[in-house]
Structure 1
Amino acid sequence: MTTLADIDLPDLPHPDYASGGLNAVVDVANVYMQNAVMLFASGWDGGQPDMIAWLGDKKLLSADGKKLTKDGAQTLEPGSSVLVDGYDKQRGAFVDKTSQLQAQNDGVNERAIASFDTSNKAFQDVKEIVNGLVTELSRKPGEHQLTRLPDGNLHLTPAEENRLLQLILEGVDRVHDTIEDADSGMRRDAGNIYQMIPDLPRNPYGNAPDAGSLAPWAPTASNATWTRGTGTPDDIIAKAREQLALGVAEIGGNNVPMFRGPDGKLYKAPYNINDAWCAAFSTWTWDQAGYNVHWTNPNYVPAVWNDAKHMGLAANISSAQKGDMIIFDWEGDGTPDHVGIVESVDPRTGRITTIEGNSSDQLKSNSYSMNAGSLVGVVKPPSNQARAS
């Protein structure tokens, strides 16, 4: 049985005489690559975080240091200068990203990765990439190009720093591609197996998520209400897509969703609450679509789920439909902690496509297997055909 210790990657060392900016990149790359392995081993269905795309979104990659693949993802242009000048000034962004990824790593528990096979080729390939970086970053001072600063201190030359930066980010890019390819292959194989199953009567979505040893949800008292409105599920999706098209995202992980207007200026999104904003976005979307639901706390996921239970709007994940709110429990502790909007459900595969606020610090579309253990259930939009009793 695999444990967390079995998939622990070696730490990337800080090169001798490196700048604070280079060390910050080393730290975020270290946590990112561990994050990729842990999410893969735990069967995570939210997709692999793309550090290169994140650097591009933060305007940290130089124009000649990136290229776009067919699906719009950003990758490194081999042999180029990879980061913009003065990246040392962006150290705070790297520190914030490191903290965010580390928090996600800390949320993966032993039970989630118990069935992972540590002989998995993707994992072994990632270890080889990381070990190569460790060797390069651990070289003795005399093996790196150094310069003496005006204050008399030694420092890596700009050319040497850039070379190491490129090696680190190329390693990150290779880890991302390795895990993505392995994950896609597993999904493809699973799909082929599904198609070979005899067409017998069965639930097309598979088994419900395993509750494990968690205590059943026990709703508390609620005074939440809803009244008849004018919206449809299509209206909900239209509003969510409008916001997605704006490219709403935080700046430096500050919990303030922003978008750039036609005039080129940045504006706060209307669902900004200066705090975690996934519930605020979902509630705002329903409200804008013409649904009149009065949650006891529209910005707090446990309150929304509790209110939904009270009003009879909560349902099993197997009944997910477009326009529903979808509830997540990332920690697996029985307390819901994230919510998004169901954009669509593939009736053949049972995969759910979502639009989620505060997903990797942005408004983002994600895809999940309906069997994913992190999915708690859905909240149905109240009927707009009759007033609630």
Structure 2
Amino acid sequence: MSTTPEPLSLDALIAIDGLLTEEERMIRDTVRRFVRERYLPRSAELFAKEEFATDLIPEIASMGLLGASLTGYGCAGMNAVSYGLALAELEYGDSGLRSFASVQGSLAMFPIWRFGSEEQKERFLPKMAAGELIGCFGLTEPDSGSDPGSMKTRAREDGDSYVLTGTKMWITSSPIAHLAVVWAKVGDGDAASIRGFIVERGMKGFETPTVHGKMSLRASPTGEIVLNEVRVPKANMLPGVQGLKGPLSCLTQARFGISWGALGAARSCYETAVNYTRERVQFGKPIASKQLVQQELVGMAMEIAKGQIMALHFGRLKDAGGITPVQVSLCKKNNVGVALHVARTARGLLGGNGILLDYPVIRHMLNLESVYTYEGTNEIHTLILGQALTGHNAF
């Protein structure tokens, strides 16, 4: 009696393990085990109930995943490839899980680490790395998304403080955050300069209402930042940067992580589709034996493989200090697009079952609709690449 051989895994197909160090493999495998044992059994319920697994924050911190790529101040100091591998495993669980770690490290901790005073670093970073302080990043506004330079949030100097007024929107982790790195304009007209401020929970006029009713990233805490004449000490202003260079450099860090993370979601969808089509029998045979199904699976695997090789290449470049924001845009645009296509294809292969939370596919597909848009929409990354390739600014 013949038996069907076990399918070739993506890891075996792509074969990057030989290109990774022992430490990189260990970090990946540790996070993989955590996600499968501690998160996946609850993933569908968390998504359905619109809840974030706050109880897992200490474990996430204990693995060094908060501010993972930063050095000193209790941070793990992982290289770029280790960090990327870890984020891919987190997003295999859920984009919301990866978003939490990404925002904490790249958008909240990084600006303090890169542009903050020594006092600010010592005060905030160790507790943020330990998960004792949760941060968020306040740049996007209701009327200023892809054009952050048009922000309306203002900081008015008043004695030894700045008084901040404005609203930020679509802010990951704001409902649970202890602090927010908020970007605001100081001054008026052409003389206005964008500066970063550390706004702390408890400051009068600082509120973070939750956004409810999302059909995407439901297992991620998303909210607003409302600043109603919030008095922030001058000691909480980031001294090391002025202008959009500050927030945009943070976004570059986060986009790099997204380019790895999205492949984790794609991998989950692909593996689900392979397993499902091998077991689903129609017309007397598993549908995995049908040419049309195999064509879809091959296309999915091929695109994930190319995205993984691109991410690894740019990760090595980043560790060597040679990556550019344009290259990060290329990797983010490609890999998120790949992941969304894989998720949609997998949803189709699962048929009606593809819309059930019993399988991870619909959850990833809906999440990736947000990942496709946030931290630079697909169209914005197209324009960044277009400008770089032609020399013409089409913004």
TM bucket (normalised to shorter chain) is under 0.3
Give me the TM-score of the superposition, normalised by structure 2: 0.26
- Which protein shows a greater Rg? 1
Instruction: Indicate the structure with greater helix content.
Output: 2
Give me the TM-score of the superposition, normalised by structure 1: 0.26
